[in-house]
């Protein structure tokens, strides 16, 4: 059965496509995204409080490599098959090598609704996978040049709103532990689903506005925006199995690898590769990949993960 | 009683919210002492920019200063941002009181 939060997304999408006057206040959308990032961070941090952190380092390295590989694959496809300019290919590849918090949140919700457990370090994977693709995208475009303002870009990538909130939430969750978090649990954990539903309503509206652009851009973008997440999911499943994650963990890593960033990366790419047309990447990421992942992708990746874990086991 | 006004130049810049921070750094470097930034909505050659969502939002920057400084700032914007960013910028003469605030 379709998740209730996804119904909210479809509601927003329909309202937008029907050109309804529905519009959420900008401040609400921003507040909901802050809430989701902190809530995800707290939950991950709480789980980390009860496990050793050093064994996680090789896993973090593995997911960084996964992000780099995805960026390179996307770049090669876009430049040599899609015949994109170097700027557009680099920028869009960075979007696909990075990850989407909203997609991750829907994945977490999907697993929680079905009582499927997953590892708490998935939240760190989320934070860690946001950044490498951005740096690779810039290197693909500029090479390693002295003119690149690495300091400013690293600041933007590492201390952007998303990563800061996630890491801050994680630190608080880790430091406070389950008992310390008990007083704020009603707000951050119990209301998670309701907030996610409202957030997805707004996402539906945003996605509906990408449709006109998508119609203009044709079949290649559409195919890329569906095939790239499928390929990402397969690599994510492989990586998850190699790391010995549980079924829930493998599903979430596949979801992360399949997802594409629409907040951190567009903002950084706008500054780092101004020649790239931001409209193309956003149409692909928001118009196709995001809805594909939350409507079809996540259940599919879960099924694939079950199958491959069965084969590997 | 007549107002003792003086002429200064108002530079209005309408552009992408994505570059607000770098623009502000530029203005500081160019020695601009004060400016006002507000959220903006509208439509132009880069499509409808609704302001409903940070990444497609616009800002409007208004600066009042002497003509020469306004022109050099505008030239800097033209050279740095016009090619790749959604940006509209224009100058107007305005009458101000307390002209020392706008040096």
Which pLDDT band holds residue A47 (cuts at 50, 70, 90)?
A: confident
On whether ipTM exceeds 0.95, the answer is no
Average pLDDT over chain A, rounded to an integer: 90
Q: Of A279 and A244, which is predicted with more confidence? A: A244
Dihedral sign, Cα of residue B39, residue B44, residue B48, residue B54: negative
pLDDT at A12: 94
Q: Do A271 and B54 lie within an 8 Å CB cutoff?
A: no
Q: Output Rg (C-alpha) for chain B, integer angstroms.
A: 15
pLDDT higher than 90, residue B17: no
The pLDDT value given to residue B99: 83
Q: Are B23 and B61 in contact (CB under 8 A)?
A: yes
Q: What per-residue confidence (pLDDT) applies to B50?
A: 53
- What percent of chain A clears pLDDT 90, i.e. is strictly above it? 60
Q: For the domain B7-97, what is the CATH code?
A: 3.30.70.120
Q: Does B50 touch chain A (CB under 8 A)?
A: yes
Phi, psi of A159 (to 5 degrees): -115, 20
* Per-residue pLDDT tens digits for A83-93: 999 999 999 99
**Cα–Cα distances in Å, from A232 out to A107, A295, B16, B96?**
15, 17, 31, 59
Say yes or no to pLDDT of A266 above 90: no
Higher pLDDT, A304 or A166: A304
pLDDT the model gives residue B63: 96
Instruction: Quickly state the pLDDT bin for A13 (edges 50, 70, 90).
Output: very high
Yes or no, beta carbons of B52 and A266 under 8 Å apart: no
What's the whole-number mean pLDDT along residues A160-187? Answer: 90
- Architecture label for domain A4-8+26-309: Up-down Bundle (1.20)
Residues 162-221 of A with CB under 8 A from B: 205-206, 209, 213
Q: What was the pLDDT predicted at B54?
A: 56
The number of helices, as runs of H, and strands, as runs of E, in chain A is 18, 0
Checking if the pLDDT of B64 tops 90, the result is: yes
Residues A95-133 pLDDT 10s: 999 999 999 999 999 999 999 999 989 998 998 898 888
pLDDT surpasses 70 at A65: yes
Tally A–B CB contacts below 8 A.
Answer: 40
The pLDDT of residue A177 is above 60? yes
pLDDT of residue B92: 96
Q: At A69, give phi and psi (nearest 5°).
A: -65, -45
Structure confidence at residue A185 (pLDDT): 93
Q: Which among B84, B86, B87 is the top mutation candidate for probing chain A, defined by the most A β-carbons within 10 Å of its own β-carbon? A: B84
> Domain limits of chain A?
4-8+26-309
Are residues A271 and B18, on separate chains, in Cβ contact within 8 Å?
Answer: yes
Grade residue B56 by pLDDT with cuts at 50, 70 and 90: low
- Place A148 in a pLDDT band, splitting at 50, 70 and 90: low
Q: Look over chain B and give the mean of its residue pLDDT values, rounded to a whole number.
A: 87
Where do the domains of chain B lie?
A: 7-97
Token pair for A174: 């880790």
């Amino acid at each position: 059965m379709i998740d209730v939060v996804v119904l909210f997304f479809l509601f927003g999408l329909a309202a937008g496509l029907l050109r309804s006057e529905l519009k959420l206040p900008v401040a609400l959308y921003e507040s909901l995204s802050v809430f989701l990032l902190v809530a995800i961070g707290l939950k991950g941090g709480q789980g980390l409080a009860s496990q050793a952190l050093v064994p996680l380092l090789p896993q973090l390295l593995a997911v960084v490599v996964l992000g780099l590989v995805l960026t390179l694959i996307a770049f090669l496809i876009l430049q040599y098959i899609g015949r994109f300019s170097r700027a557009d290919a680099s920028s869009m590849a960075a979007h696909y090598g990075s990850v989407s918090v909203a997609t991750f949140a829907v994945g977490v919700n999907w697993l929680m609704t079905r009582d499927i457990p997953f590892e708490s370090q998935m939240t760190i994977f989320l934070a860690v996978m946001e950044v490498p693709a951005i740096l690779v995208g810039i290197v693909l475009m500029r090479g390693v040049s002295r003119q690149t303002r690495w300091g400013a870009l690293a600041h933007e990538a590492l201390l952007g709103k998303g990563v800061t909130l996630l890491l801050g939430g994680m630190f608080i969750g880790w430091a406070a532990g389950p008992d310390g978090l008990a007083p704020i649990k009603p707000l951050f954990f119990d209301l998670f689903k309701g907030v996610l539903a409202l957030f997805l309503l707004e996402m539906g509206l945003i996605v509906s506005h990408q449709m006109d652009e998508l119609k203009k851009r044709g079949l290649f973008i559409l195919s890329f925006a569906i095939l790239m997440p499928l390929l990402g999911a397969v690599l994510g499943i492989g990586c998850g199995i190699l790391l010995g994650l549980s079924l829930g963990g493998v599903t979430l890593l596949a979801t992360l690898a399949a997802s594409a960033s629409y907040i951190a990366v567009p903002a950084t790419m706008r500054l780092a590769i101004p020649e790239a047309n931001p409209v193309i990447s956003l149409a692909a990421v928001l118009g196709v990949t995001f809805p594909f992942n939350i409507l079809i992708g996540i259940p599919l990746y879960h099924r694939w993960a079950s199958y491959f874990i069965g084969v590997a086991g | 009683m007549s107002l003792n006004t003086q002429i200064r130049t108002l530079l209005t810049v309408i552009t992408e919210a994505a570059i607000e921070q770098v623009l502000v750094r530029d203005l500081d470097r160019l020695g601009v002492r004060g400016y006002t930034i507000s959220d903006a909505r509208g439509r132009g050659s880069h499509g409808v920019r609704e302001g409903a969502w940070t990444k497609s939002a616009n800002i409007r920057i208004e600066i009042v200063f002497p003509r020469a400084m306004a022109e050099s700032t505008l030239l800097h914007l033209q050279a740095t941002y016009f090619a790749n960013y959604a940006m509209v910028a224009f100058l107007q003469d305005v009458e101000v009181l307390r002209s020392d605030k706008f040096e």
